């Protein structure tokens, strides 16, 4: 059974003092510049820094795709609860209309954790996400309200608070900023979380709070409290600051490439200044210095923290205007060095994983050479099946090659010549494209959702699991035992009516039948639908029996013996993503 990266590779690297020189120099110096690294080493070192120091880390990445890969790697290494992704809300300055709700939620989640949660965490961000300023702590608190189990809250006050926070009253909650009221229950989707909450009142007391799924409307777990946070992009009062201003003073800043980060901040800020000049005067727009972070502001804030920079080589064909930015970075580093002489450069001796292009003889030869030279070789596999495929290929090629393995989606392998450790990834060995897991709070599943049902028109046909085919007649409010709740009104044969609570959403589906055939409504209380279900189950059982019988006959029958799959077949299978 493959162990995960945090159970296998990370502990072994820590035993070998992997990155120890960097961590020791971070303690002594304000800034450490790391050269000669390769592959996913920066991610591993950031995970080790977090595990050994237990302090907040802001990890700034060059681009969005790399940020997603690194976020996935870190979540595997230290746990999803310790990793936050901080995206941009829009790609161009002053394009609020293109803002994505999912990104606002992820940004708000980061601010909420920074303001109210003292637990250490890693925040993965890009230069474009840092270019947008955020609300100061006290102003963020002004658009936040903590709701706890046991709180004495007037029910009307809660509704007034939601209206004051510009939440939208809807029949059901489906996206951030929505809230609904049903009797003594309030459903609300705070901008600080990826799932909405259901608050149950007993009189004026908060009896319980549950997270629930927006698609099934079913509860997924209880919580004791949560932060009700409105859309911070629409906050009309309060000043904005750089994200770095909200970090604890003992935080670490890690940059994948400080030069590229500053260049992107500079380019975005200049674009914002140009865009501001072209905006119409009918609406008053805030100036760029209020909304966005310039490269000068970022450099000033960076000086307050201990930082590590994994610098890339600056291309020779850099333009003249980029040279002025480089001088600015160099002069800042010189100033920092002149002030406290605490800048340290560390050179690692690493190279990227060799390229094998599915040449397994070449891979076998490399592993043998590494063993003879005293290297410890690890191979990262996405699953047990991939490991078995590689082992079967080596077995067919008559190679007995010892290597250690672990389960991970590590993005890039590397070779460390000083520690004599080589770490390879299976997707690079098999030339297979690796997909990253992007954080998407609102990814839809294939099941029918409440929102889908709301798009139904009166008269559309539906199927109820217990009562059969009926007609959808709309969403109505029904009073039961003094409590009002939303229900789906369904009509059946002879105009019989059935009211289905929205909490029984999982029992309803869109009717899906053969085209051209007349649709006959079922009669409530009639055994017809039950009989049809029983007949269908019996037919399914008969099909299953026939299949078992067929496969039993195939097993006993004399067949043609094909030769076993060669390593070429195994190699082909391993090259696919799924």
Query: pTM for the full model?
Result: 0.73
pLDDT at 60 over 80: yes
Q: What is the pLDDT of residue 216?
A: 73
pLDDT digits (tens, 9 = 90+) for 175-228: 888 888 877 888 999 988 888 999 998 888 899 999 988 777 788 889 999 999
Confidence of residue 69 (pLDDT cuts 50, 70, 90): very high
Average pLDDT along the chain: 83
- The token pair that represents 202 in the structure block: 């007993």
Cα–Cα separations (whole angstroms), residue 146 to 87, 141, 153, 413, 454:
25, 10, 11, 45, 31
Category of 357 on φ-ψ map: left (φ > 0), alpha (ψ -120 to 50) or beta:
left
Q: How confident is the model at residue 329 (pLDDT cuts 50, 70, 90)?
A: low
Residue 321 predicted with pLDDT over 50: no
Q: CA–CA separation, 56 vs 50, rounded Å?
A: 7
How confident is the model over 359-390, as pLDDT tens digits?
Answer: 888 999 999 999 999 999 999 998 888 888 88
Cβ neighbours around 338 below 10 Å, total? 9
Q: Of 303, 302, 247, 243, nearest to 55 (Cα)?
A: 247
Start-end of H helices in 79-126: 101-116
The pLDDT assigned to 439 comes to: 63
Quick: pLDDT tens for 285-298: 788 898 899 999 99
- Give me the helix-helix angle, 295-302 and 258-278, nearest 10°: 140
Supply the DSSP string of 373-430, one letter for each residue: TT-EEEEEESSHHHHHHHHHHHHHTT-----EEEE------EEETTTTEEEEEHHHHT
Cα angle value 222/223/228 (rounded, 5°): 125
CA dihedral 409, 415, 420, 424 (to 10 degrees): 30
| Dihedral sign computed on CA atoms, order 158, 164, 167, 172 | positive
| 367: nearest Cα among 382, 357, 378, 381 | 378
User: What pLDDT is attached to residue 359?
Assistant: 87
- CA distances from residue 404 to 278, 375, 377, 434 in whole angstroms, order as listed: 60, 11, 6, 21
pLDDT 10s digits, 250-301: 999 999 988 889 999 999 999 988 888 888 777 777 888 988 999 999 999 9
CB of 499 closer than 8 Å to CB of 487: yes
Sequence-ordered list of residues with C-beta below 8 angstroms from that of 566, at least 6 positions apart, any chain:
396
Look at the chain and count its residues.
578
Distance CA 311, CA 328 (A): 16
Give the DSSP letter of residue 494: G
CB-based burial, 33-67: b 16+ in 10 Å, e otherwise: bbeebbbbbbbbbbbbbbbebebbbbbbbbeeebb
3-state secondary structure of 577: coil
Query: For the segment 335-366, what is each residue's pLDDT rounded down to a tens digit?
Result: 444 334 557 889 999 999 999 888 888 999 99
Q: Please count the helices (runs of H) and the strands (runs of E) in the chain.
A: 18, 27
């Amino acid at each position: 059974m493959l162990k995960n990266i945090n159970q296998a590779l990370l502990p072994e690297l820590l035993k070998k003092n992997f990155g120890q020189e960097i961590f020791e120099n971070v303690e002594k110096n304000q800034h450490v510049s790391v050269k000669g690294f390769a592959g996913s080493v920066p991610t591993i070192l950031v995970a080790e820094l977090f595990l050994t120091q237990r302090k907040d880390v802001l990890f700034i990445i060059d681009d969005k795709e790399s940020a997603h890969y690194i976020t996935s790697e870190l979540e595997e290494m230290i746990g999803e609860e310790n990793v936050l992704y901080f995206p941009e809300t829009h790609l161009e300055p002053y394009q609020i209309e293109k803002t994505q709700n999912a990104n606002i939620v992820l940004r708000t989640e980061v601010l909420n954790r920074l303001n109210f949660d003292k637990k250490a965490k890693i925040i993965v961000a890009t230069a474009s996400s840092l270019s947008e300023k955020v609300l100061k702590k006290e102003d963020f608190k002004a658009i936040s309200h903590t709701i706890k189990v046991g709180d004495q809250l007037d029910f009307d006050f809660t509704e007034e608070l939601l209206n004051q926070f510009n939440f939208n009253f809807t029949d059901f909650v489906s996206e951030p900023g929505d809230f609904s009221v049903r009797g003594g229950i309030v459903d609300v989707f705070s901008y600080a979380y990826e799932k909405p909450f259901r608050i149950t009142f007993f009189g004026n007391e908060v009896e319980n709070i549950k997270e629930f799924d927006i698609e099934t409307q079913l509860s997924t777990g209880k919580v004791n409290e949560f932060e009700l946070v409105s859309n911070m992009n629409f906050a009309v009062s309060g000043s904005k600051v750089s994200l770095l201003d909200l970090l604890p003073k003992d935080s670490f800043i890690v940059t994948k490439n400080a030069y590229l980060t500053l260049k992107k901040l500079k380019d975005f800020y200049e674009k914002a200044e140009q865009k501001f000049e072209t905006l119409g005067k009918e609406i008053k727009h805030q100036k760029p210095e209020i909304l966005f972070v310039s490269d000068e502001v970022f450099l000033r804030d960076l000086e307050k923290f201990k930082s590590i920079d994994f610098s890339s080589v600056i291309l020779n064909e850099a333009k003249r205007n980029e040279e002025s930015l480089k001088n600015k970075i160099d002069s800042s580093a010189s100033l920092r060095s002149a002030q406290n002489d605490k800048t340290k450069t560390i050179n690692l001796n690493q190279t990227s994983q060799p390229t094998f292009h599915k040449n397994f003889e070449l891979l076998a030869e490399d592993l043998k050479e590494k063993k003879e030279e005293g290297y410890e070789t690890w191979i990262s596999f996405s699953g047990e099946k991939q490991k078995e495929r590689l082992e079967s290929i080596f077995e067919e090629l008559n190679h007995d090659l010892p290597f250690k393995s672990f389960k991970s989606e590590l993005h890039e392998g590397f070779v460390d010549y000083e520690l004599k450790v080589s770490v390879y990834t299976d997707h690079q060995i098999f030339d297979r494209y690796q997909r990253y897991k992007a954080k998407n709070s609102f990814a839809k599943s294939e099941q029918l959702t409440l929102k889908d049902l709301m798009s139904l028109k009166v008269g559309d046909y539906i199927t109820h699991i217990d009562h059969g085919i009926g007609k959808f007649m709309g969403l109505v409010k029904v009073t039961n035992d003094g409590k009002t709740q939303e229900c789906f009104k369904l009509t059946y044969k002879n105009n019989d009516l059935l009211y289905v609570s929205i909490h029984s959403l999982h029992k309803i589906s869109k009717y899906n039948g053969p085209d051209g055939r007349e649709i006959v409504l079922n009669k409530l209380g009639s055994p017809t639908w039950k009989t049809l279900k029983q007949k269908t189950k019996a037919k399914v059982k008969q099909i299953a029996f026939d299949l078992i019988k067929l496969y039993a006959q195939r097993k006993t029958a004399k067949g043609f013996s094909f030769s076993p799959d060669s390593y070429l077949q195994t190699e082909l299978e391993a090259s696919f993503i799924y």
